[in-house]
Amino acid sequence: MSSNLANEPARVAEMFRKMVLIRSFEEAAGEAFHAGHVRGSVHQYIGQESIAVGVCANLREDDYLTSNHRGHGHSIAKGADPRAMMLELFGRVGGTSDGKGGSMHIADFSVGMLGANGVIADGCTMSVGAAQAIRLLGDDKIVVNFIGDGGINRGPFMEALNWAKVYELPVLFICENNQIAATTTTHLVTAGEGIAARAESFGMPATTIDGNDLFEVDRTVARVVAEIRTGGGPQLIQAMTYRLRGHFAHDEAGYRDLAEVEAALGREPIARTEAWLLENGMTADEITTLKAEADSEIIGYVEEAMNAPWPDGKLAFSDVQDVGAPSYPGADQ
Amino acid sequence: MTAMTYAEAARLALQEEMARDPKVWALGEDLGYEGGMAGQYDGLQAEFGSDRIVDTPISESTIMGAAVGAALAGTRPVAEMRFSDFAMCAVSELVNQAAKARYMFGGQARVPLVARMPIGIRGGIAAQHSQSPEAWYVHTPGLVVVTPSTAADNRGLLKSAIRCDDPVVYMEHKGLWGVVGEVDEDDEEPVPLGVAAKVCSGDDITIVSWAAQIGVAALAADALVEDGISAEVIDLRTLYPWDRDAVMNSAARTGRLLVVHEAVRIGGFGGEIASDVAETLGIPVARLGGERIPIPFSVPLEDAYKIKVDRIVARVRELVA
C-alpha cells in the first residue's frame, strides 16, 4: 500500500466502520425479509461496500447521487439515516418516505441522495439533468450516478454518456461491475469490449479498478472527482466487484458455481480492509468491538421498526400532486 | 389586443417566464436555428443563450430524464418533445420518474417540469406524427395534462404550466400552430389550470371538447342554430384535473351531454367524462371520437378518421330529438 492513506488510519477506520454498518444493515434487512417482516424485494449490497464508501468519502454533502435498485449501500455511504431507511423497509411511519417507497425508493435529499431507482439506467439520464441544473445555477457540485453492468445495455445509458460528454457536464458514472445482471452473466449478452470501451467510444475517460480494494477506489475517485469538479468533464469508473448474494434476498443464486463464490469470498472488501487495519495499528479487539457496535446499532433499528406504528391509510393520498390532488375516499367517515 | 398565432403566443409565454425566472430553461431538438417546429422558440436562444435554450441530440429518453433530474435539482425545465408520438420514447422517464418521484420519496421532491408534446392531425404526416394520446397521461397519477385551443390560452396556460410545481404534460395541437387569435399582451396573468372555458352558451345540450376539436364543435353549434337547437360548448383546456363543476353545472341545466375528441374513442378520455356525468346526473350522454385505426396519410383516408361538423350535428340531432 503505497497510498498516502497509510498516514490516515483513522480515516480508513471510519470508512471501514461505514462498510461494516452497510454489511450489518444488509444482513439484517435480508433476515427481516426471510422472517416475513419486510415485503416486496430487498436487493443486498453485500460484497460491494468498498465502492459506495470509497466513492462517497470523496464527495461533499451537497454533491448529488443517483442510484439504482441496489441502493442501500449508496444511501448509507452518502449520509442517509440508516434508522429511517430501516423504518422504510418495514413500511412504517418515520421511514425515509413514510412507507410510500420501500427498499427500491430510498432517498434523502438533505444529503444530495436523489433516490434509488426501480428502473435500470433511468438514473443515468436524471444525472445529466441534475448536472445541467448545477451548471445553470452556477454551482460547483458534481453528480455521481451508480449503475450496474446490466444497465449498460439500455439505451438511456448510452444516450446519457453521449449527452454528458457533448456538454462536458460534471458527472461521474460509477459502473459497479458485479458481472451478473439478475441471473444472466453480463458478458454473454454484451457485445464489444465492455463498459470502459463504451465510455471511451464517446471520448470519455474511463478507469477500471478493483472495486473491492477500498484504497484503489478512494485514490481513483479522489483524483477523478477533483478533475470533474474543476471542469474536466464527465468520466466513468468501472469498479470490478462481485455480488456475494443473489439478485435479491429471495434469490439463492443457484445458477452460480460455488467455486466462483468461494474465490470471491477471498477478495471481499471488508476482510481486505480489516487486514490492512490490523497491519496499521488497529487491534483485533477494536475491530471486534466496531463490528459489534454496528450490529447492535442496526439491531436496534430493526427492533424499533418492528414496533413502529404503521402509516394511516389516508397517507396514501398525500404527495401525489398539488393540482388535482386526490382526496381520501374515507375522509368523511 | 394583439393578433398573433397560437405558436407566437406560446413563444411569448416562454419568453416572459424565462425573463421572470432565471431557473426556467428549455431543452429539445432544433430549438436554436430552427426555433422549434412551429417557430415557438424563435429567437429565444439568441436572447437567453444556449445554456437556457439547449439544442439536444435526438435522445428523447434523456431529454425527458434530464428534465426530471434538473427539476429535482432545483430548476424548472421545459422539455420539448416535438411530437407526442416521439415522447413515447420517454414514457418511462415521464411516467416512472417524473410522475412518481415526489410520492415515492415521501414528499422530499418536487418535479416542476413541463413535458411539451404536440398532439393531433396537422395534415399528411400519418400514423407516427399525428396521434392524440392525452388519455395515457390523464390516466397517470402525478401528472397534470393541458390542451390549449386558442392563442390566448396557449400563452396563459403555458405560463401556468411553467409555474406549476407538478409535472405538466403540455399538449399543443399541431393543427392550431398558425391559427390567429387575440392576445392582450399587457395582461401577463397566467390562465389557471383546471378551469374550463365556455365557448358558446346554450340550453339544449352541452358539448365538451378540447384542443383543435373545439373549433369543429363550435362550428357544429353554429350549424345547429338552423335546427332551433341551442348547444353550449365547453373547452376543458385542462384534462387533468378536468373542470368537473363546469361540466356538471352545464349538463345539469341542458340535460344532455356530448363529448367530442379527436383521439380514439375507445379508452379515450371522453369515456370518463360521459360516465361520470351519467352516474352523477342520470342524463343521456354520448361520445364521438376517432375510430380505432392508425391515422392514415392520404386526404380521403385522413378525412375518414376525423370527426367533422356534420357528424357532430347529426349526433346532436339524435340526442335532442
Q: How many domains does chain A have?
A: 1
Among B181, B238, B190, B177, CA closest to B36: B177
Give the tens place of pLDDT for each residue, A242-293.
999 999 988 888 898 899 899 999 999 999 999 999 999 999 999 999 999 9
If pLDDT is split at 50, 70 and 90, which confidence band does A331 have?
low
In this prediction, residue A310 carries a pLDDT of 98
- Partner-chain contact A130 B72, CB within 8 Å: yes
Q: Assign domain B197-320 to its CATH architecture.
A: 3-Layer(aba) Sandwich (3.40)
Q: Predicted ipTM?
A: 0.94
For the segment A30-75, what is each residue's pLDDT rounded down to a tens digit?
A: 999 999 999 999 999 999 999 999 999 999 999 999 999 999 999 9
- The yes-or-no answer to whether B2-183 and B197-320 have a common fold is yes
State the pLDDT at residue A1: 41
A332 pLDDT higher than 60 = no
Do the domain assignments include residue A89?
Answer: yes
Strand partners, A66: A145
Question: In chain A, what residues touch B194 (CB-CB under 8 Å)?
Answer: 323-324
Whether the CB of A168 is below 8 Å from some CB of chain B: the reply is no
* CA distances (Å), origin B196, targets A148, A181, B236, B240, B248: 47, 49, 4, 11, 12
Q: Residue B118 belongs to what H/E stretch?
A: none
Residue A323 in any domain: the answer is no
Q: What is the pLDDT of residue B280?
A: 98
Q: Is B129 a catalytic residue?
A: yes
Residue A331 falls inside a structural domain = no
Under DSSP, the state recorded for A318 is S
Q: Does B109 touch chain A (CB under 8 A)?
A: yes
How far apart CA B5 and CA A262 sit, in angstroms, is 70
Cα B82 to Cα A289, B68, B125, B166, B299, distances in angstroms: 60, 18, 13, 21, 23
Residue A315 lies in a domain: no
- Residues in B 266-295 with any Cβ partner in A closer than 8 A: none
For A163, which of B62, B105, B240 is closest by C-beta distance? Answer: B62
The answer as to whether A110 is a domain residue is: yes
* A·B CB contacts under 8 A: 166
Chain B nearest-CA distance from A326, in A, is: 9
SS3 B262: strand
Residue A324 lies in a domain: no
Percent of residues, chain A, with pLDDT higher than 70: 97
* Closest C-alpha to A77, from A105, A102, A115, A50: A50
Can you give the pLDDT at residue A252?
86
The Cα–Cα gap between A185 and B125 comes to 44
Q: Compute the C-alpha angle A84/A87/A89, nearest 5°.
A: 110
When pLDDT is averaged across residues A128-134 and rounded to a whole number, the result is 98
pLDDT of residue A4: 46
Cell numbers that stand for A30 in this block: 435480508
Phi and psi at residue A238, to the nearest 5°: -95, 115
The reply to whether A224 falls in a domain is yes
CATH number at residue A255: 3.40.50.970
In a structure prediction context, what are the per-residue pLDDT tens digits for chain B, which is 321 residues long?
999 999 999 999 999 999 999 999 999 999 999 999 999 999 999 999 999 999 999 999 999 999 999 999 999 999 999 999 999 999 999 999 999 999 999 999 999 999 999 999 999 999 999 999 999 999 999 999 999 999 999 999 999 999 999 999 999 999 999 999 999 999 999 999 999 999 999 999 999 999 999 999 999 999 999 999 999 999 999 999 999 999 999 999 999 999 999 999 999 999 999 999 999 999 999 999 999 999 999 999 999 999 999 999 999 999 998
Domain extent for A77: 4-307
- Min Cα separation B319/chain A (Å): 32
Q: Per residue in A37-47, pLDDT tens? A: 999 999 999 99
Q: Say if residue A5's pLDDT is above 50.
A: no
Structure-block grid coordinates of residue A234? 464527465
Q: So what's the pLDDT on residue A8? A: 80
* Nearest partner of B285 among B310, B236, B248, B311, judged by Cα: B248
Task: Check whether A91 has a pLDDT greater than 80.
Answer: yes
The domain spans of chain B are: 2-183, 197-320
Question: Domain for residue A318, yes or no?
Answer: no
In the CATH scheme, what is the code of domain B2-183?
Answer: 3.40.50.970
Asked if B142 and B104 touch (Cβ cutoff 8 Å), the reply is no
